[in-house]
Every structure is written in C-alpha cells, then in structure tokens.
Structure 1
Amino acid sequence: MVVLVLTACPAGLRGHLTRWLLEVSPGVFVGQISARVRDLMWARVLELSKDGRAIMVFHADTEQGLAFRVHRHDWQVVDVDGLSLMLRPHEVGGQSELRPGWSSVARARRARRRK
C-alpha cells in the first residue's frame, strides 16, 4: 500500500499520478503498486513538484511495517533505534513556534524566573 500526499503541486503531476493511484481527496493518493513503480513514481514527483511538497508512506520490511519519504517538507524523517519518526522542527528562523505565555504553565514558569 502506498499513500502519497501532495501540497501546492502542479495539476499535471496530480493527473500523472492518477495513472497508478486513486485520488481519494485533493492531493491525497492511495494505491497498491510494486516497489519498482513506486520508486519511478517518486522520481517523477521530485521532477515535477517544483515548489510543492510531497510525503510518501509505503510498506517496508521494518518493525513498523512502513517507511516515509519526504520532499521539501518542514518535518524530517529521523531514525531512532530502528524506528522512523517524523521530527517537527522546534524553532523556525531562530524563533520558537509557540508564543511565550500562551498557557498557564508558561505563565507559572515565567513567574518562577522573575523571583
């Protein structure tokens, strides 16, 4: 089983992928294809995606039973003791994604620092 999610990709790429996969929602493709076709299709996604992003999840002989491939995505695939996990970056451009003081815990932490 292969799941491919495209974001901000050309319509021509989406049309190209419908030859092998079923588009169940805009930009979300699923299907059962061979490993050879999957690798060729991923190469085509990299070639045609331009400024878009792509994530592919597919069956693999691992403990999890699946593997990931990402292209131009903020999140990265990292291997932790044989498990593939998606790492979300904590900081963007040197700034934390969360505003300070957005929760009661952050306010309490800030109050302890002031003492």
Structure 2
Amino acid sequence: MPSMTVLATTAVPDHVRGALTRWMTEPMPGLYVGTLSARVRDELWSVVHASIGTGAAVLIHPEANEQGFALHTAGERRRIPIDFDGITLIAFRPEEDQEMAKGV
C-alpha cells in the first residue's frame, strides 16, 4: 500500500536528483515528497545511499512503531539517529569528531 514519503538531500549528484523527481515532487530544492510503495521507496533509497558521495540524505516514512515513522540517514551528518528502547532520538556529534573525520 503506498504511503507518504519525505526525503531531504544535501549536495547529491544530479543523476540522483533526476531519479528522485521521476517519482516524487520537489517543493523546494533538496526536499522530495511523494506517495510511494515500499518497493519503490526502498529502491530509491538504495540509489541515494549508494550515490551519496560527499552529500547527505534523510528518509522518513510511516512505520508501525511507537513514533509512527522510520528515519534513515546516509552521508556524514552532525546529527545522528540513535535507537533508545525502540524510539529514535537525535544526538549531536561533537564538532571535534567531525573535524577528525575530515582530517582537519
């Protein structure tokens, strides 16, 4: 059964943006919204995840859990989702960890 899906991207390659706009609407740059089946959603996420490069992406879709949604991330981000007893919380990675990852 198709369900509302939201995907936000930052600095992804043009071919990924093109693939996303075939299935979803882009109401503002980097934000994609659509009603997708689980199969199409998973295939699009596979393409985004494999092609993310130096960019970043977040996928949110309905899920049968306490929060009512699932959250997936790809790429380097300061905010990291953490599972806390079945609930997804967002933690901030310390800035010095980011600098170490970048080799600064």
The equivalences for 1:12-91 within 5 A come to 12-72=15-75, 73-89=77-93, 91=94
Matched positions, count: 94
Which amino acid is the alignment partner of residue 66 of structure 1? Answer: F
Which segments of 5 or more consecutive residues in structure 1 lack a partner in the other structure? 95-115
CA RMSD in angstroms, aligned pairs only = 1.5
What's the CA shift string for 1:8-37, capped at 9, x where partnerless?
111221111011111010000001101111
Give the secondary structure class of the aligned counterpart of 1:18.
Answer: helix
TM-score, normalised relative to structure 1: 0.75
- Partner Cα separation in structure 2 for residue 32 and residue 86 of structure 1: 25
1:110 match: none
Which amino acid is the alignment partner of residue 81 of structure 1? Answer: D
- Partner Cα separation in structure 2 for residue 85 and residue 3 of structure 1: 18
Which segments of 5 or more consecutive residues in structure 2 lack a partner in the other structure? 98-104
Which amino acid is the alignment partner of residue 78 of structure 2? Answer: D
TM-score, normalised relative to structure 2: 0.83
- Partner Cα separation in structure 2 for residue 86 and residue 9 of structure 1: 22
Give the secondary structure class of the aligned counterpart of 2:36.
Answer: coil
* Divergent runs of 4+, >3 A: none
Give the secondary structure class of the aligned counterpart of 1:41.
Answer: helix
The structure carrying a bigger strand percent of its residues is: 2
